[in-house]
């Protein structure tokens, strides 16, 4: 089986959310017969998952607006997080009926794919017991929040590559007090592009989920194999 991957560039959060929901609907209906992985960046945005507390946005609405940051409440699991330039965001549209009907297993697999990808670029990453996401040397480098219906997933992960980490000072990331965020650039001491990291992550997802990655152009999303 293939994993159809597509690099979308910078896409507004609202547009990407509607695209995910449409692709998930088509996957549930059987109109799409392969798993998908959307890879992209967002303009600055704060999102609140189902368990988010408003108190975890510690900046005023005026300050958020001044920095050009949108706020969205969404159906994914998890608390509050930030998306922005320099961050690789991935939205897997997977049918877990073809893998394993277990969301906890799926979350661990997403973590594993990111751990494998980070290892390839020279970062030793790990899980943090009791939390979802990926850490390195005690600092959080990737956040994960997913949603599923009829065992088809959407939403996904955010991996800090060259992200301006000061944005995380505006929130309590993932609702974890005193969490320290980091990025690929900070850990390596050298810059690595989001495009380069996208290719590494796509390969890692293929390896972990036993799928063959096949990149498709954005315009092909309307005509993926049926």
* Cα 100 from Cα 95, distance rounded (Å): 9
The length of the chain in residues reads 226
Active-site positions?
174
Distance between CA 77 and CA 147 in Å, rounded?
6
How far is it between the farthest Cα atoms of the chain? Answer: 48
From CA 138, how far away is CA 56, in angstroms rounded?
Answer: 21
Phi-psi category of residue 71: left, alpha or beta, with phi > 0 → left and psi -120 to 50 → alpha: beta
C-beta atoms surrounding 48 within 10 Å: 22
169-193: b (≥16 Cβ within 10 Å) or e: ebbbbbbbeebebbbbbebeeeebe
Those residues with Cβ within 8 angstroms of residue 181's Cβ, 6 or more apart along the chain or in another chain: 139, 140, 141, 160, 165, 168, 173
């Amino acid at each position: 089986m293939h994993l159809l991957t597509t690099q979308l560039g910078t896409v507004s959060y609202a547009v990407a959310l509607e695209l995910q929901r449409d692709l998930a609907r088509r996957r549930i209906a059987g109109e799409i017969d392969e798993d998908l992985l959307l890879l992209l960046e967002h303009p600055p945005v704060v999102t609140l998952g189902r368990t988010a507390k408003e108190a975890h946005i510690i900046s005023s609405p005026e300050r958020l607006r001044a920095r050009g940051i949108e706020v969205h409440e969404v159906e994914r699991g998890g608390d509050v997080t930030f998306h922005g330039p320099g961050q690789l965001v991935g939205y897997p549209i997977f049918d877990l009926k073809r893998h394993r009907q277990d969301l906890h297993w799926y979350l661990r697999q997403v973590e594993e794919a990111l751990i494998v990808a980070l290892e390839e670029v020279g970062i030793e990453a790990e899980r943090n017991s009791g939390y979802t996401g990926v850490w390195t040397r005690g600092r959080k480098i990737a956040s994960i929040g997913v949603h599923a219906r009829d065992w088809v997933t959407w939403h996904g992960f955010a991996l800090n590559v060259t992200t301006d980490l000061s944005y995380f000072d505006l929130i309590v990331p993932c609702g974890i007090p005193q969490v320290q965020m980091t990025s690929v650039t900070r850990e390596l001491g050298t810059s690595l592009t989001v495009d380069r990291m996208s290719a590494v992550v796509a390969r890692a997802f293929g390896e972990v989920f036993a799928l063959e990655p096949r990149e498709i152009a954005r315009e092909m999303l309307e005509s993926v194999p049926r």
